[in-house]
Chains A and B, each alone.
Chain A
Amino acid sequence: GENVEQHPSTLSVQEGDSAVIKCTYSDSASNYFPWYKQELGKRPQLIIDIRSNVGEKKDQRIAVTLNKTAKHFSLHITETQPEDSAVYFCAAKRRGFKTIFGAGTRLFVKA
């Protein structure tokens, strides 16, 4: 079946450094790529998304890039802060079908 691979599973950075999480997807018809953040004990929430007709999208300190040819997309967090510590999930879906989630990346930002 279709799947999304996410790396790394755990990431530890120093406050102020950048963090990058990478995902690859198998369904070439995927056209929507959301990223969810789940803080400890809380529900996942959408933080940014990108559609297949766009190569890059930025929102303050976070950005996503998409390479449709290689079927991979990445989340970039700059100037990390302790409140960025959470589990991040990438996902991929195509029109009318279910969303496929990656396994998650646990990000630790050390003060």
Chain B
Amino acid sequence: DVKVTQSSRYLVKRTGEKVFLECVQDMDHENMFWYRQDPGLGLRLIYFSYDVKMKEKGDIPEGYSVSREKKERFSLILESASTNQTSMYLCASSGQVVAGWDEQYFGPGTRLTVT
């Protein structure tokens, strides 16, 4: 059974703080993703990674950065948190992007509130 875990379920931070969200998967998946989920906007891709130390921008990368030092861990960093980054953040992993059909396994989500 694939397990994707996220470091926090709920997080409250102040404007301007640096925020780290961590994601760990235990299935040796090559591909990892960070999404942001907002009502009426669905799942929007922030960044993704196809390999260790590799990253690519998604649709809304502004204000975020990522780090993938180990295959199983993918971190999302908010360099200077702002109130418009208050959202639910979902991490996902998958193993077969190159094949074309890849089920994504999601973590439980982190609800971040920036005050």
Instruction: Please state if A34 and B43 are interface contacts (CB–CB under 8 Å).
Output: no
Q: CB-CB < 8 A to A103: which residues of B? A: 40-42
Cα A48 to Cα B108 with chains together (Å)? 20
Fill in one digit per residue for B77-101: 1 if any A CB lies within 8 Å of its CB, else 0.
0000000000000100000011111
Contact status of A44 and B90, CB under 8 A, knowing A34-B103, A49-B103, A103-B40: yes
Cα A28 to Cα B103 with chains together (Å)? 20
Tally the A-B contacts, defined by beta carbons under 8 Å: 61
Cα A98 to Cα B46 with chains together (Å)? 11
Instruction: Please state if B106 and A44 are interface contacts (CB–CB under 8 Å).
Output: yes
Residue of B nearest to A10 (CB): B40
B61 within 8 A of A: no
B45 within 8 A of A: yes
Q: CB-CB < 8 A to A98: which residues of B? A: 33, 45, 48, 58
A78 within 8 A of B: no
Which of A12-20, A67-75, A87-95 lines the interface with chain B?
A: A87-95
For the complex of A and B, 3 pairs with smallest distance between CB atoms: A95-B100, A103-B42, A43-B106
